[in-house]
Homo-oligomer: A and B are copies of this chain.
């Protein structure tokens, strides 16, 4: 490109830089919500092996909400048990403990492993389907310039971010295979285990624009361009934290071994030769994280990774695993890393350019958190940007991205720091060995870490999207007192003790009133961009309770209710609020037609909606009827709960607390009273 040539210019609502899991998650939201979006990546193809591989429970819940958890679940290795191996007094490693990999009862999914390339495949297929092929990753495209026009950032109709993009030539877009920035080639750019449905991506896309440049004006830019993020550096933001002394090697191999727990997740501390983690994978693969005690950093604190080879890593593994033998014929991928724990100082610029994923937090990969937390960043951000871009939500909600996610990043860094130290340390010989790591302490950290690593204990604090729970010990409100006239929406946690405000909407099984089919209720909280009002209608057969439900529905359906005055938009997000009902009467004693119409809306083309009213009752083939108990809701009186588009609980109140519910939505949605 020469600057004298004509450079094409265009507008787009959202520009995503980087098509790894974080960028693809952002694009996925835009596809589901119907937002005009481009996503660019400087690499010439998607990746096909190696990289991240662990998927938390919460990631699977999110994938399910997007529509592809089943594909991951089917292809992945399921992680069931963790075995801990420690040296005995004779220095020989032995299994000392077994614990479940996923805490029992915490989620309907368990942690799984599957390489990042497959996850990206599922995202790409999902984006194609929901965007009707309008959002495609543009590969071999490099951002070169970014500028925010601060005079326009408060104008919702403007495109204040200008980005210059360059379409790379083939040679530019096909990088020498780099591993964590070193120049080591792993010689395995294309995995032998590649799936047939990935093959199309080997064919390079149209080259017609190769070597040319263009100017894009965007309402929002999301930088998901990795640990050395161009976007972050261009904004002048930094990562803060510390480096590490520990150097680790990674091998993805089909192991030939007599080690009995090779298909379990194992944490192995040897007496003198460092530690090793076993992560069983799909397709007979096993990933080994191996501490390289014989590779030492130089004076600058960095090791010369060009000297590290698969043989060096394998030999380190052999010493740690001795007296068991390990070898391989097939290696799918390998790398070595030395990573500190660092977190970004700022997650956005003017709430117009956002950073996510490795661009704002780096840490060791061993806990299998990186890809998950990165995807969760943009799962948190994407719907907010989409709803603001569509004029449905207030721009002020965008500040909750940093307030909600930066703390999570900090928690992750702290966790990784602690965990890495314990894992990399030499096992204590006895209680007096202060320089060694106590294996009991390690196990405790592991168990606690498992809870953290599930991704399910994330709790977003109060904001415009999460109501402040009232202090019920002070008795400000009883269940029957009308709500006070505060300008903020207060929430009554006691009405749904199993649905902590600020945490993800837990899942219990319910039964469809109309066709008796059991569902995990979370399956009904799809990522459509909609807020949900969940009406726990209680015992609808009790006339006084039925009256309460009818009164709530009348308020909800009144002309000036937020439900009627929220901004409508075009499909697929034609209604920003969906109402779902779970009642607790007997299914066979009730009838969909007995419920107020607003709970199962009538459409003149397709009749009544049969997919909105559910019951907490027994069913024929599955264990149902425990939802009210699990959610901690009174089976007679019920309550009302708001789930955000990302399934987090935003508000809990009584059927009489309509004013507070109205305030909640006044706080986050654009409402316009109807004429």
How far does the alpha carbon of A260 sit from the alpha carbon of B514 in the complex, in Å?
8
A104 sits at the interface (CB 8 A): yes
Q: How many protomers of this protein does the assembly include?
A: 2
- Asked whether A260 lies within 8 Å of B98 as measured between CB atoms, the reply is no
Q: Is the CB of B605 within 8 A of A330?
A: yes
**Bound Cα distance A196, B133 (Å):** 11
Cβ–Cβ contact A591 & B260, under 8 A? yes
A280 on the B face (CB < 8 A): yes
Please name all residues of chain B whose beta carbon is closer than 8 Å to the beta carbon of A258 when the two chains form the complex.
Answer: 593
Q: Are A605 and B329 in contact, with the CB atoms below 8 A?
A: yes
Is A606 among interface residues, defined by CB-CB distance under 8 A?
A: yes
Which A581-636 residues have a C-beta within 8 angstroms of B?
588, 591-593, 604-607, 610, 619-621
Residue of B nearest to A590 (CB): B260
Taking a contact as CB atoms under 8 Å apart, the answer to whether A264 and B606 are in contact is: no
The complex places the Cα of A588 from the Cα of B330 at a distance, in Å, of: 30
Q: A260 contacts which chain B residues (CB < 8 A)? A: 591-593
How far is A110 from B619 in the complex, measured between Cα atoms in Å? 13
Q: Are B516 and A81 in contact (CB under 8 A)?
A: yes
Residue of B nearest to A511 (CB): B80
The 8 Å CB contact of A102, one of B98, B264, B593, B621, is B621
Q: Shortest Cβ distance from A91 into chain B, in angstroms?
A: 22
Check B254 against A621 for contact (C-beta < 8 Å). Answer: no
A366 CB-CB contact with B under 8 Å: no
Interface core residue of A262, A516, A593 (most chain B CB under 10 Å): A516
Contact assessment for A263 and B610 in the assembled complex, using a CB-CB cutoff below 8 Å: yes
In the complex, are the beta carbons of B80 and A515 less than 8 A apart? yes
Instruction: Report Cα–Cα, A329/B603, bound state, in Å.
Output: 11
Shortest beta-carbon distance from A478 to chain B in Å? 38
Q: Which residue of B lies closest to A100 (CB)?
A: B620
Q: Give which listed residue, B110, B264, B517, B605, contacts A621 with CB less than 8 A.
A: B110
Contact call B284/A588, Cβ cutoff below 8 A: no
Kindly state whether residue A78 has any CB partner on chain B within 8 Å: yes
Contact residues in B for A81 (Cβ distance below 8 Å): 515-516, 620
A574 at the interface (CB under 8 A from B): no
Which single member of B263, B517, B604, B605 contacts A514 (CB below 8 Å)?
A: B263
Which residues 274-302 of A have a CB within 8 angstroms of B? 280, 284
Enumerate chain B residues within 8 angstroms of A264, measured Cβ to Cβ.
514-516
CB < 8 Å: which of B80, B196, B621 contacts A129? B196
| Chain B residues closer than 8 Å to A254, beta-carbon distance | 605-607
CA distance A621 to B105 in the complex (A): 7
Q: List 26 A-B contacts (CB under 8 A).
A: A78-B515, A78-B517, A80-B515, A80-B516, A80-B517, A80-B619, A81-B516, A98-B588, A102-B620, A102-B621, A104-B620, A104-B621, A110-B621, A129-B196, A254-B607, A256-B604, A256-B606, A256-B607, A258-B593, A262-B514, A263-B515, A264-B514, A264-B515, A284-B610, A329-B604, A330-B606
Apart from A254-B606, A263-B514, A329-B605, 19 more pairs, CB < 8 Å: A78-B515, A80-B619, A81-B516, A98-B588, A100-B621, A102-B620, A104-B620, A104-B621, A110-B621, A254-B605, A260-B591, A260-B593, A263-B515, A263-B610, A264-B514, A284-B606, A284-B610, A329-B606, A330-B606
**5 closest Cβ pairs, A-B complex:** A263-B515, A256-B607, A80-B516, A100-B620, A263-B514
